[in-house]
Amino acid sequence: MTGLGMNLIPSEFAIGDVYLPPMLIATLLGMVLAWLTAHLLNRFRLSRFFFYPPLVLLALVVIYTVLIGTFVIPS
């Protein structure tokens, strides 16, 4: 009975016959969320307070990817 929990965590995602690693899915979701956050920052003119906004976008991608990979898609 101790091995039942091991099957609940996905080791890969299958889309049709293509297998994708969980880190790729976490990275894609992180990029989408970072892009949406950057879009909102630009819309409300909050990005003018940053020295270099593209670096903030990169940092947001990393932060969102780590959070999604840790809490949403544990591998």
Q: Which contiguous run of DSSP H or E holds residue 58?
A: helix 53-67
Q: What is the dihedral of CA 39, 69, 9, 25, to 10 degrees?
A: 50
Sequence-distant (6+) residues with CB within 8 A of 11 are 22, 75
- pLDDT band of residue 75 (cuts 50, 70, 90) is low
Domain assignment of residue 66, yes or no: yes
More confident: 53 or 12? 53
pLDDT reported for residue 11: 77
Domain assignment of residue 11, yes or no: no
- Number of neighbouring beta carbons within 10 Å of residue 40: 11
Domain assignment of residue 7, yes or no: no
pLDDT > 70? residue 1: no
Domain assignment of residue 55, yes or no: yes
pLDDT > 70? residue 6: no
User: Tens digit of pLDDT for each residue in 34-74?
Assistant: 999 999 999 999 999 999 999 999 999 999 999 999 999 87
Domain count, the chain: 1
Q: Quick check: helix, strand or coil at residue 61?
A: helix
- In degrees, to the nearest 5, what angle opens at C-alpha 43 toward C-alphas 59 and 67? 30
Domain assignment of residue 67, yes or no: yes
Domain assignment of residue 43, yes or no: yes
Which residues span the domain enclosing 32? 18-72
Domain assignment of residue 12, yes or no: no
Domain assignment of residue 32, yes or no: yes
| Average confidence (pLDDT) over 10-32 | 90
Q: Quick check: helix, strand or coil at residue 8?
A: coil
